[in-house]
A and B are shown apart, each in its own frame.
Chain A
Amino acid sequence: KAGVTQTPRYLIKTRGQQVTLSCSPISGHRSVSWYQQTPGQGLQFLFEYFSETQRNKGNFPGRFSGRQFSNSRSEMNVSTLELGDSALYLCASSLRVRDTEAFFGQGTRLTVV
């Protein structure tokens, strides 16, 4: 069974631009969550989707948004990029809506210059 696939693996963007990251969950998994990892703040929850509905949202500005499609694939978008948005963005896939293992992809390394 294929794991969680995140694309692209690496991105370099300029301040002020926007970026879209993609995540394909494990087949059959309907829950997708996104996390940001930085050296200073560690791993922080961005948002969670289940069956195309956002169920939880972390404490991030409105520039960070996401969506989930009917095939459970998810995208997250960051608009008006700032230098501080440079991070590893990780996507996790889960089978059930709660109390279940979360399996992570390899991440997208975003560098904002």
Chain B
Amino acid sequence: SQQGEEDPQALSIQEGENATMNCSYKTSINNLQWYRQNSGRGLVHLILIRSNEREKHSGRLRVTLDTSKKSSSLLITASRAADTASYFCATDAENAGNMLTFGGGTRLMVKP
């Protein structure tokens, strides 16, 4: 079963705009990771944020984590057509080793 829900399920924006995706989860976590997947290929690791962190940046990516609300958001700034992909959040629950539980994903389309 999936731990989290991602919102929205699909998002279509113009190149240059910002894209925000949200993820909610159910249990206490060690960390939350965001991944990108292009068209049925492997998952590309974007960023990991630990439960004691509130915000993290990597290039054009900004991730926030609110453990009191059990939610996270991924912001992609100044989007490009190459950002078109599905984005997944995955939680690493406490006492679960490296088992990740994934959300359903957000399909992002960036129009040139």
Which A residues lie at the B interface, using CB under 8 A?
4, 6, 31, 33, 35, 42-45, 48, 50, 55-56, 58-59, 88, 90, 92, 94, 97-107, 109
Cβ of B41 to closest chain A Cβ, rounded Å: 6
A107 and B42 contact, Cβ closer than 8 Å, known pairs A43-B102, A48-B97, A99-B31: yes
Could you list which residues of chain B lie within 8 angstroms of chain A, going by C-beta atoms?
1-2, 30-31, 33, 35, 40-45, 48, 50, 88, 90, 92, 96-105
Given contacts A43-B88, A94-B98, contact A109 B40 (CB under 8 A): yes
How far is A88 from B42 in the complex, measured between Cα atoms in Å?
9
Q: A50-B97, A99-B31 are in contact. List 14 more A-B contacts (CB 8 A).
A: A6-B42, A31-B98, A35-B102, A45-B99, A56-B97, A59-B1, A90-B43, A92-B100, A100-B48, A100-B98, A101-B48, A103-B45, A104-B35, A107-B40
A-side interface mostly? strand
Complex CA distance for A90 and B81, rounded to whole angstroms: 26
